[in-house]
Amino acid sequence: MNATAILMSAALLSQIGLPSDRSTSSRQDAVLSGCLVNLIDEVQLPAEEAGVLASIDIEEGDEVRRGDIVARIDDREGQMQKKAAEIEYIQAQFQAKSDIYIRAAQGQAAVDEANHAEVVAANAKAYGAVTRMHIRTLKLKHENSLLQIEKSETEHEVAGLTAEIKSTAVEMANERIRKMKLDAPLDGVVVKLYRHAGEWVQPGDPVMRIVRMDRLRVEGFLNVADFAPQEIVGRPVSATVNIKGGHGEPFRGEINFVSPLVEANGEYRVRAELKNYKVDGQWVLRPGLTAEMTIQVQ
């Protein structure tokens, strides 16, 4: 091959981009400095019912588990409403189960029917023995007793529906009492109390702030010219933070978010979720710290 052919081949190879420095860098780990540590979950726990805070069962700095009762609103009025609703429900159930009025109406209808039949038979044997007015009166009485049966049956059905309504009232009273107990919606640390025992709260008023500390996120930026997003998503990461006493054990996780947006400087945001740990009873990784994150591209 002559010199001209060699030069042309080299130029062509440079245009199509054979594996070179770019592919070599893509096989290396991506190291991001100045990454910011942030919270994953936090909540401003609100009051759900109006009332006086009877107690705050935790203090700032306490750790809570999901479902723990952390505060209580005075529920004495709610308890009385519940008791009244339960009594009304029992009464409605008794009325719904009892068919005494139906049986009484049926008995009366049977008597009225027999009386009417007797006078009709008597008048058939001796015409004029019973006046027409009396026969019509007994017939009307029998018809009214049949209507009374229908009325009693309708009232019995209504009593059943009323019992269901009263049952719902008991459930609503129980739900209101449940809302007067504030329970933690997540595992975390209470970092702020906004209210104290004895204060009045309205629905929606924040009572405390709870943050999750066992898992945090760290965010940084990569240049699209160095690493393609598809190389990064789902990759394992390790992170270290500069704290007193040294770095300690690295924090492990994986990239769970790659932004689809590329900034004007060619960078895009990536985020990893890290598992936190404690030293001497204190969480090491804390929101607001900066970290160095290494993404294992290969």
What domain range includes position 100?
Answer: 76-179
166 belongs to a structural domain: yes
Amino acid making up residue 136: R
* CA 38, chain centre distance (Å): 24
Identify whether residues 192 and 53 lie together within a single domain: yes
Domain boundary among 163, 190, 211: 211
The pair phi, psi for residue 162, each rounded to 5°, is -60, -40
Among 1-5, 51-55, 86-90, 105-109, the least confident range: 1-5
In this structure, are 235 and 100 located in the same domain? no
Span 114-166, pLDDT tens digits: 888 888 888 788 777 778 888 788 888 888 888 888 888 888 888 888 889 99
Q: Tell whether 149 and 277 lie within a shared domain.
A: no
How does residue 22 score in pLDDT terms, banded at 50, 70 and 90?
very low
Q: Does one domain contain both 226 and 197?
A: no
The pLDDT confidence band at residue 4, using thresholds 50, 70 and 90, is: very low
CATH number for the domain harbouring residue 196: 2.40.50.100
Residue 1 lies in a domain: no
Which of 191, 211, 231 marks a domain boundary?
211
Same domain for 63 and 86, yes or no, is no
The CATH number of whichever domain residue 28 belongs to comes to 2.40.30.170
**Residue 248 in domain:** yes
Q: Are residues 164 and 228 in the same domain?
A: no
Domain end position, chosen among 156, 179, 202: 179
| Whether residue 50 is found in the same domain as residue 175 | no
| pLDDT bracket for residue 247 (50, 70, 90) | low
On whether both 162 and 219 belong to a single domain, the answer is no
| Averaged pLDDT of the chain | 86
Does the structure show a pLDDT above 60 at 10? no
| pLDDT for the residue numbered 176 | 93
Q: Tell me: do 25 and 161 sit in the same domain.
A: no
Give tens-digit pLDDT for 180-235: 999 999 999 999 999 999 999 999 999 999 999 999 999 999 999 999 998 899 99
pLDDT of residue 245: 59
Q: How many domains does the chain have?
A: 3
Look at residue 15 in the predicted model and tell me its pLDDT.
Answer: 40
Lowest-pLDDT range, 74-78, 93-97, 215-219, 262-266?
Answer: 93-97
Q: Is 273 among the domain residues?
A: yes
Predicted confidence (pLDDT) at residue 248 exceeds the cutoff of 80: no
CA distance 272 to 289: 15
Residue 28's pLDDT band, with cuts at 50, 70 and 90, is confident
In a domain, 264, yes or no: yes
What pLDDT score was predicted for residue 98? 82
Q: Is residue 8 part of a domain?
A: no
Share of the chain above pLDDT 70, in %: 89
Q: For residue 13, is it within any domain?
A: no
Q: Could you tell me if 119 and 260 lie in one domain?
A: no
Per-residue pLDDT, 3: 44
Same domain, 89 and 237: no
Indicate if the pLDDT at residue 26 is higher than 50: no
Residue 90 within any structural domain of the chain: yes
3-state secondary structure the chain: CCHHHHHHHHHHHHHHCCCCHHHHHHCCCEEEEEEEEEECCEEEEECCCCEEEEEECCCCCCEECCCCEEEEECCHHHHHHHHHHHHHHHHHHHHHHCCHHHHHHHHHHHHHHHHHHHHHHHHHHCCCCCCHHHHHHHHHHHHHHHHHHHHHHHHHHHHHHHHHHHHHHHHHHHHHHHHCEEECCCCEEEEEECCCCCCEECCCCEEEEEECCCEEEEEEEEECCCCCHHHHCCCEEEEEECCCCCCCCCEEEEEEEECCCCCCCCEEEEEEEEECCEECCEECCCCCCEEEEEECCC
Residue 64 and residue 119 in one domain: no
Contact yes or no for 188/64 (Cβ under 8 A) = yes
